[in-house]
Amino acid sequence: MAAEPESVERILEEHLPADKLEIVNRILYGSSSRVLALPAECAALGEKGNFEVKGHQIAAGCEQLRSPRLVRIGLIQNQIVLPTTAPVKEQRDAIHKRIAEIAEAAGKARVNVLCMQETFAMPFAFCTREKTPWSEFAESAEDGPSVQLCQEFAKRYNMVVICPILERDEVHFGTIHNAAVVISNTGKVLGKSRKNHIPRVGDFNESTYYMEGNTGHRVFETQFGRIAINICYGRHHPLNWLLYGLHGAEIVFNPSATVGALSEPMWGIEARNAAIAQTYFTAAINRVGTESFPNEFTSGDGKKAHNAFGHFYGSSYVAAPDGSRTPGLSRTRDGLLVTEVDLNLVRQVKDKWCFQMTGRYEMYAEELAKVVGPDFKPNIIKETE
Amino acid sequence: MAAEPESVERILEEHLPADKLEIVNRILYGSSSRVLALPAECAALGEKGNFEVKGHQIAAGCEQLRSPRLVRIGLIQNQIVLPTTAPVKEQRDAIHKRIAEIAEAAGKARVNVLCMQETFAMPFAFCTREKTPWSEFAESAEDGPSVQLCQEFAKRYNMVVICPILERDEVHFGTIHNAAVVISNTGKVLGKSRKNHIPRVGDFNESTYYMEGNTGHRVFETQFGRIAINICYGRHHPLNWLLYGLHGAEIVFNPSATVGALSEPMWGIEARNAAIAQTYFTAAINRVGTESFPNEFTSGDGKKAHNAFGHFYGSSYVAAPDGSRTPGLSRTRDGLLVTEVDLNLVRQVKDKWCFQMTGRYEMYAEELAKVVGPDFKPNIIKETE
């Protein structure tokens, strides 16, 4: 099998003359994303630890009455470290250690809000439909080991940290959820946001483990902006993105785990469309590499039972409400993407494009109520004789 | 000023080695779009008439109980022909003549459903905020001259034709609307669908001329599938796309008029995201060229008053529910894009990705009703002491 290409951006940079590259980047990526110089220590840590470090910034206009509200968003994408056959605690500890290395670079880069990928501290074992040992990775959203790790980052580096975990809710009958815990830069747990839409596609057998989330569309007001979390498959659901926006989010994170053949042409589209349509920043994070499991599992779509998930293609990026986006991180390597944004852009673009003003939400609330009602008849016009 | 580049796709083809082009195309455009060979007469008509003709096909899987439902979608993008200072009737007649040339190629290509760009028979004069002479382009959705022209195409070529016009509704007090008339392949007018969202951005001063549409989200059941029309600025509104889907559309056309600096990085994102999220085909059409008007108009965003709209960048394309899309037509030339799709792909992708099944529309109907209610309080979580 041919090696996975590193990224579309790398191919374009290597082969297009500068003037053509400028045109292609302007049309495909928008023009407001620029390289952000990071402290030399960040690159050094990346080199030492074999992870990519990339810095970008997305500009906003000057205003007379507000100062810029610069926020540095950090996204971490990573492979698992040990094989899935290793003891659960060793697997998790090894990932924690790895994440701590990358988080250190985020600290040096003065990241304000750091987000990890979906269920970052475990393999994405839901393909297997086996309950053990994978359910043992589930942990408390108040004080589980991954939450504690992220609390350390938060305090050490003065950053808000979004910590996506497999959650065990002991209060509610010990049920499992797919959730993200938001930790303030003081180290305090602000709350959690659960995955609202659970896939039934390909190897994504997550509905065997947890149900649709019940935490609605909360938005967390932090020192570095109002943030929300739309976990993985929720990015395919425009209504999900919409509601986070209507509740006031300025940055919506999309910690994900998704594989090549299935979703890659959609990856650059969905979180970016949400940034445009809802007029906020979005940050999409995907894990990296292929994960193999001890027992074969059915393919779900006519292929032979197999042990390995497809290739998680990384490519984490940030998209802005003006239609621009950063390049993606590598398709193959662990990485840290640091993106400095000016949150003032949100209101500037709202005032310019007026999507909320022209949104006709009252009409849609009524229409949607009809659609889900028992007497719904689609409005179909046919040719009459 | 440098000449406008023809297209991103052309730049990639010219500069990337074949193996890299394949990778980039797979990631950016998906893998199910292939070149469709068209009759030689089509290319000859294009050469003679100086317009681009492009053929693509998007494949679907085989089924046991249904035959493929192959439909050829035709999209026409065009510049205006005469200067905007010419008499209204001459301007319109010249565009009609031009469209007839391109429609002939569509006929030879055995197009089943043909769609023109937004208000195709006139310049996009709404930037001016002048009522005359532009209001004179408004015409009846039952038997206006553009409708009659499209009825001729429908009968001559046995195709459904979507005819976007500036509509004069004589019954309802002579008001003007931005609408698309759907004409059956029998030549009969099936009905009209009005633009649901009216922009207030840049030079798009359309709200001076017409109000938000009142025709809802009707879907037209034709011999070649269930089709709907989301006009121009409606493509920024995910709820608009959603409702067409919930009413059963299999192809949603987006006849548009949009200019470079403002919207180009969004162009490839929005209609394509709708195809993915709503699991139908979308067809986005944009006009071409720059249009100049006799009197200067304000820029709307701090530039000097000017006579010319920005560059309408064409780039019309078709997107599929599986995340793939065709290349775009040229950014600079009139053109016809013929795309053969298998409508069976719609249900196949619905069964695979399950976005409707997992959509939780009941929850959103309730949430949206709360959001638009008078006592709405955003769900914001703050740090407490």
Residue B367 to residue A364: CA distance in whole angstroms = 11
Q: What angle do CA B224, B230, B236 make, to 5 degrees?
A: 140
Cis check for the bond before A133: say yes or no (omega within 30 of 0): yes
Whole-number pLDDT of residue B31:
80
Whole-number pLDDT of residue A303:
85
Which residue among B220, B364, B372 sits closest to A239, beta carbon to beta carbon? B364
pLDDT in tens, B170-217: 999 999 999 999 999 999 999 999 999 999 998 999 999 999 999 999
pLDDT exceeds 80 at position A82: yes
Under 8 Å CB pairs connecting chains A and B tally to 252
List CB contacts (< 8 A) between B215 and chain A.
Answer: none
Query: What is the strand order of the sheet A317-319 is part of?
Result: A317-319, A281-286, A251-256, A225-229, A219-222, B380-382
* Range with lowest mean pLDDT among A67-81, A222-236, B110-124, B301-315: B301-315
DSSP code per residue over A272-290 = HHHHHHHTSEEEEEE-EE-
Please give the structure tokens belonging to residue B237: 């509104």
Whole-number pLDDT of residue B1:
47
Q: For B267, phi and psi rounded to 5 degrees?
A: -60, -45
Residue B37 to residue B24: CA distance in whole angstroms = 23
Residue B115 to residue B99: CA distance in whole angstroms = 11
Residue B231 to residue B154: CA distance in whole angstroms = 21
Which residue among A28, A218, A268 sits closest to B8, beta carbon to beta carbon? A28
Residue A165 contacts residue A147 (beta carbons within 8 Å): yes
Residue B2: pLDDT band by 50, 70, 90 thresholds?
A: low
Query: Is B354 marked active-site?
Result: no
Number of neighbours of residue A150 by Cβ within 10 angstroms: 31
Whether A238 sits inside 8 A of B243 (CB atoms) is no
Residue A234: pLDDT band by 50, 70, 90 thresholds?
A: very high
Query: Is B118 marked active-site?
Result: yes
Which residue among B182, B355, B380 sits closest to A219, beta carbon to beta carbon? B380
Alpha helices in chain B (DSSP H): 8-15, 18-29, 40-49, 88-108, 145-157, 238-246, 260-278, 344-353, 361-372
Closest chain A C-alpha to B41 CA, distance in angstroms:
32
Which residue among B27, B196, B265 sits closest to A323, beta carbon to beta carbon? B265
Residue A143 to residue A146: CA distance in whole angstroms = 8
Residue B368 to residue A228: CA distance in whole angstroms = 18
Whether B236 sits inside 8 A of A276 (CB atoms) is yes
Q: Which of B232, B250, B270, B340 is catalytic?
A: B232
pLDDT in tens, B236-267: 999 999 999 999 999 999 999 999 777 999 99
Mean pLDDT of chain B: 96
Residue B155 to residue B114: CA distance in whole angstroms = 12
Place of tokens 């986005």: B284
Percent of chain A scoring above 70 in pLDDT? 99
Residue A214 contacts residue A193 (beta carbons within 8 Å): no
Query: How far, in Å, are A32, A236, B250 from residue B244 at the CA level?
Result: 33, 17, 9
Domains in chain B with CATH codes: 34-371 (3.60.110.10)
Residue A287 contacts residue A117 (beta carbons within 8 Å): yes
pLDDT in tens, B25-36: 999 999 878 999
Q: What angle do CA A155, A160, A164 make, to 5 degrees?
A: 110
List CB contacts (< 8 A) between A263 and chain B.
Answer: 323
Residue A182 contacts residue A191 (beta carbons within 8 Å): yes
Q: Find all residues with CB under 8 Å of A66, minimum gap 6, and list them.
A: A344
Whether A237 sits inside 8 A of B277 (CB atoms) is yes
List CB contacts (< 8 A) between A210 and chain B.
Answer: none
**CA neighbor of B100 nearest in space, from B29, B183, B156, B34:** B156
A interface mutation test: which of B64, B204, B381, B382 has the most A CBs within 10 A? B381
Q: Find all residues with CB under 8 Å of A118, minimum gap 6, and list them.
A: A124, A164, A178, A231, A232, A255, A256, A257, A285, A287
Q: Which of B54, B108, B192, B195 is catalytic?
A: B195
Residue A129 to residue A117: CA distance in whole angstroms = 21
Looking at chain B, which runs of residues are DSSP E strands? Answer: 33-35, 52-58, 70-77, 113-115, 160-169, 175-183, 189-194, 219-222, 225-229, 251-256, 281-286, 288-289, 292-297, 306-308, 312-313, 317-319, 335-342, 380-382
Q: What angle do CA B311, B315, B320 make, to 5 degrees?
A: 150
Whole-number pLDDT of residue B341:
98
Please give the structure tokens belonging to residue A112: 């304000």
Residue B243 to residue A379: CA distance in whole angstroms = 10
Who has greater pLDDT, B186 or A31?
B186
pLDDT exceeds 70 at position B350: yes
CA count, 13 A, side-chain hemisphere, A385: 0
Residue B320 contacts residue B33 (beta carbons within 8 Å): yes
Residue A201 to residue A365: CA distance in whole angstroms = 29
Please give the structure tokens belonging to residue B1: 């000023």
Residue A95 contacts residue A174 (beta carbons within 8 Å): no
Residue B72 to residue B338: CA distance in whole angstroms = 6
Residue A7 to residue B202: CA distance in whole angstroms = 35
Place of tokens 């790895």: A98
Residue B339 contacts residue B58 (beta carbons within 8 Å): yes
Whether B220 sits inside 8 A of A381 (CB atoms) is yes
Residue B325 contacts residue B272 (beta carbons within 8 Å): yes
Mean pLDDT of chain A: 96
Whether B269 sits inside 8 A of A264 (CB atoms) is no
**CA neighbor of A88 nearest in space, from A134, A119, A129:** A134
The three-state DSSP-derived secondary structure of A54-113 is: EEEEECCCCCCCCCCCEEEEEEEECCCCCCCCCCHHHHHHHHHHHHHHHHHHHHHCCCCE
Local structure of A53: helix, strand or coil: strand
Residue B17 contacts residue B80 (beta carbons within 8 Å): no
Could you report the predicted ipTM of this complex, rounded to two decimals? 0.96
pLDDT exceeds 80 at position B356: yes
